[in-house]
Amino acid sequence: MAVHEVERDAMTRALHAAARGPRGVNPQVGAVILSAAGEILAEGWHHGAGTPHAEVDALSKLPEGAARGATAVVTLEPCNHTGRTGPCAVALIDSGITRVVYALDDPGVTSGGGAERLRAAGVEVESGVQAEAVHALIEDWLIAHRLGRPQITVKWAQSLDGRAAAADGTSQWITGPQARADVHRRRADADAIVVGTGTVLADDPALTARDHDALYPHQPTPVVIGTRETPTDAAVRRHPHEALFYDTRDLAAVVADLHARGIQSIFVEGGPTLASAFIAAGLADRVLAYVAPVLLGGGRVALTDIGVSTIAEARRLAVDEWVPLGADLLAIAHFTPGVNETDLNETDLHEPDLDEGVR
């Protein structure tokens, strides 16, 4: 059966409703209930883990029996499992809904299959409506669901000869204002920003995402990893979000805990030791390398040991984009399949007394 224009419009409304829900362990989902005549009867969205799903939230706003013969328009395939809440597919069937239109299939092994269950109960089902728009909204969640952890971007700034700081440890500023503004825009897109204690002690970064002197509306949660104490008056402690401190060198455990907290994307700012440790542990999906046309020499390299002892072990990347930023150049790249991954337990995560600055 063809998808009607009123259903496409309802999907747009469901998409806006979904965006009202929080990012977290569960995807942002919206739902709209249409009468047989195409009138909007109710809308709902998922308000967070443990709360009714979008379909049930919308149905709860209707009198008993009001959904009979109606159409449910949902951004994600109605779930087919019992977790903290029951299966949405069953709730829709029990409500008397006769048609369901949704955008994306549920990728979950246990939660997927709702469309098949609906069809088996005699409900008409159409999928793929405004799939691209819905995918854009929950892309980070989909990636985190596939990986079983947050998507991790490792960023650094370097001189043309691969240095992150001058011989005396100074690093502000290797790159120019356009590159630094680009970093802040990308910080604002992330759920968490991660640094090592070396960076905190050396540069006292605020770890905020700033648009000139103002803060971006969305701020990443600051995360500090390392065994050294962060001073009580450190700038990171005045961040809009309470900072998370991990007194450990077990990056896999940190990433797992952040995932459990609903963090979908991580922006690793370094310094070089921490950035290298993430890469060595196989916990990096994407690299942002800001390259400035300056030469520094010396030994303060942008990356340290990443577990490569011979060219055959090189960590291969595919460049997605080269972005000119004033005099600087940004390389955006992702790791290609089949690279060797070093177990973190075999990686010695040292913390030098003086680490790089956050640019």
* Catalytic residue annotation: 55
Cα separation values, 125 from 29, 151, 354, Å:
18, 32, 60
Binning the chain into helix, strand and coil, the percentages to the nearest 5 are: 30, 25, 50
Ramachandran angles phi, psi of 125, nearest 5°: -130, 130
Among candidate residues 18, 80, 21, the one with its CA nearest the CA of residue 49: 21
Q: Are 358 and 203 in contact, with CB atoms under 8 Å apart? A: yes
Residues 6+ positions from 251 with CB-CB distance below 8 Å: 225, 277, 278, 281, 283, 344, 349
Q: Are 359 and 350 in contact, with CB atoms under 8 Å apart? A: no
Residue 53 structure tokens: 């799903």
Q: Are 6 and 124 in contact, with CB atoms under 8 Å apart? A: no
Residue 118 structure tokens: 């609906």
d(CA 2, CA 60): 28
d(CA 207, CA 192): 10
User: Which residue's entry shows tokens 């998808």?
Assistant: 3
Residue 133 CB coordination number (10 Å)? 13
User: Which residue's entry shows tokens 């691969």?
Assistant: 162
User: Three-state DSSP class for 24?
Assistant: coil
